Structure 1
Amino acid sequence: MLRFIASVYRALISLLATGFLAGTIAGGAFMLSTGTGSTAIAVGLIVLGPLVVVLVFGTLAILIQNNELLHRIADAQGGRKPGLFNSRGRKVQHLDTAEERAEPRLRA
């Protein structure tokens, strides 16, 4: 069910991004061709509209792709749970706490 929701979300993001991109360009072209509103606003919609769409929806696309890559990495590593392996990939018996670690004492 969760994968289905994620795929629907991914498809909706693509549709929304395409719609906003087409809408900003079409709106700016309409304003420019009919002469309604300011020319600067029309050119701003044509030029800056796609940049804002890429900025906002590009960030979402990167987040979605990052999540997929992290899941692939976790699956390739055998689905390790955090805290059961040290930084070298060796299995540890238990997690060290601050009290168990032997810290050197500072001399005054």
Structure 2
Amino acid sequence: MDTTQLLKGVLDLAVLAVLKEGDGYGYDILRRLRAAGLDEVGDASVYGTLRRLFQAGFLTTYVVPSEEGPHRKYYGLNASGRDQLQRSGKVWRTFASTMDTLLADRGMVA
């Protein structure tokens, strides 16, 4: 199965989960997602997701000057973002549990 399609459906949740650990700038968030095992996530997808989550009111931003290149725009979870993470996490866990049950009932999961 192509994980790219699955990733599109859960990238918002993954980014929110990474930001729960602490604020980060775009490339840092991308690196953390990949380190967590989401190797196929693309740069443009993460930056687009950050913009969308910010516009939806789930993130705060601030700029930190950098001595090595351009300033970095950091993203952090706000109260709405933490609430959204909790809601989305619950939906994901319910969905994953349902899929596990479906696959187990058909002898597809050990």
TM-score bin, normalised by smaller chain: 0.3 to 0.5
Larger RCO, structure (CA 8 Å, separation 6 or more): 2
TM-score (norm 2): 0.35
Higher strand share: 2
